[in-house]
Amino acid sequence: MLDVNYRSAEDTSHIWRNQHVQKHQIEITERFKPMPQESQEKKAGISTKDIPRTSRRSRFRFSLCGIAIGEEVTFVNDESMKAIVVDDYHVRFGAEIISLSALAKRLLGHKNAVNGTLYFKYNGKILDDIRK
């Protein structure tokens, strides 16, 4: 009896493809390794110590802008849409209590987060301008 160990053309091609892909993945990862931070700084001629750090603004609070609970804010794109301030961080829109950002995102129809203070006014001034 003759024992023949063979593979079909499809098996051989599948094995070859896997080996080929693995070889190129290794080449790509070796080729595009990130430089150490020090090397990047030397190449650019700067140090991260030379770059001034910026800080994020703190979370928006109605009280810091002089807006009391019960006051009304207006959506900039449609002044008939008004929300009532219920605490330092939330408004009531209809029967729902919601943050300005979430409300602005919904009214604008965006999928990603937005800065709610850019889309609401208080006494004719945009909240983001009052905040500054």
pLDDT tens per residue across span 75-109: 999 999 999 999 999 999 999 999 999 999 999 99
Pick the more confident residue, 62 or 6. 62
The pLDDT value given to residue 56: 73
- Cα–Cα distance for residue pair 62/122, rounded to 1 Å: 10
pTM for this model (two decimals): 0.58
Q: Kindly report the average pLDDT of the chain as a whole number.
A: 78
Rg over CA atoms, the chain: 29
Pick the more confident residue, 35 or 84. 84
Pick the more confident residue, 57 or 71. 71
Report the Cα 53 to chain-centroid distance in Å: 20
Q: Which of 32-36, 47-51, 95-99 has the highest mean pLDDT?
A: 95-99
What letters, b where the CB count within 10 A reaches 16 and e where it falls short, cover 70-98?
eeebbbeeeeeeebebeeeebbbbeeeeb
- Cα–Cα distance for residue pair 12/56, rounded to 1 Å: 57
